[in-house]
Each structure stands twice: as structure tokens, then as C-alpha cells.
Amino acid sequence: MSNPGLIHLYPGGNGGNTLTVTLVSGSSQRVVLSCTDGLPSGAFCFFNPGVSMPSYSSHLTIAAGSSVPTGRYTITVSGVSGVLSHTTQFTLLVTPAPALGGTSTPVDTLGLIIPYISPILLLVSAAVAIAVAVHFGRVRPVLK
């Protein structure tokens, strides 16, 4: 029985590995796969298929709950057929999940409102200029 090695996952996530179960000698008998040692609390393993006749490959999935502690774990997988048992080991690496989101770019709010403020400022400044001119007598209002 062999496997490619490392499974890396985050708490609350899952990861996979492919195990190869090979008939070494004799007649083929059903082999039952299971994780027998090393799984951290809150992690579970599943095999697809979990039982088959060698030689075959089985996909192992490790599912980790959100409370699984980060760390490096050595997981033992056993393949049992009658009184025969073979094991393989791999490393499970649980690391903190990366931060969600990314960088944010500040919005240029002044650039967004200037086109709307400019006409208003123009009208206000014109009104002030007229009011000042009237006040100092430079312009006389025409009344009809």
C-alpha cells in the first residue's frame, strides 16, 4: 500500500490523497481501508472505495472541522484483509486559513462630487458677486 505523501488543509476544509493497494502475492481478497492513528480531534477520513479487491486505487479525503487545531500530524492508514494487515503513513498539515478579501483601494470621493459641486459654486459665487455689487452701489437694481 502506498500514497503520495502530504495532505494540506485549513480548519473547516478538506484535502485528499490517492492510495494504491497492490496485490503482492496469492489470491485477491477484499481489503478494508481505515485511518487508524494520528487524526486530530474534529477531523474525519473517508475512502472511495473503502473496500475493494486489490490491485486498486482509493481516494482518501480528510475533512476537518473548524475547530481542528493547526499543526503537523502523522496519519496511519491500515488496509486489512482477513488476518493480514498493511499500513502506510502520510503527513497531514493543518495551517490557518488565509485572510478573506484583499487590499482595498480608497475611493476618491472628492473627485466624484466635484462635477456636481462646481455648477453650484459658480451660481453661489455669482449671487455673492451681484449682492456685493448691489450693496456697494455699483449696480442698481431695476424695479418696474
Helix (H), strand (E) at residue 9: strand 7-9
> Which residues have CB under 8 Å from 9's CB, separation 6+?
15, 62, 64, 92, 93, 94
Are both 124 and 55 inside the same structural domain? no
The pLDDT, as a whole number, for residue 116 is 61
Range of the domain at 66: 7-94
Q: How far is CA 127 from the centre of its chain?
A: 58
Q: Residue 52: how many CB atoms within 10 A of its CB?
A: 17
Question: What size, in residues, is the chain?
Answer: 144
In a domain, 122, yes or no: yes
The pLDDT, as a whole number, for residue 2 is 76
Q: How many domains does one find in the chain? A: 2
Are both 82 and 124 inside the same structural domain? no
The pLDDT, as a whole number, for residue 97 is 86
The pLDDT, as a whole number, for residue 26 is 82
Print pLDDT tens along the chain (144 aa). Answer: 777 789 999 999 999 999 999 988 888 899 999 999 999 999 999 999 999 999 899 999 999 999 999 999 999 999 999 888 999 999 999 999 887 765 555 655 555 555 666 666 666 666 666 666 666 666 566 665
Exposure letters 87-108 (e unless 16+ CB within 10 A, then b): ebebebebeeeeeeeeeeeeee
The pLDDT, as a whole number, for residue 102 is 59
- pTM summary value: 0.65
Are both 23 and 77 inside the same structural domain? yes
Are both 87 and 119 inside the same structural domain? no
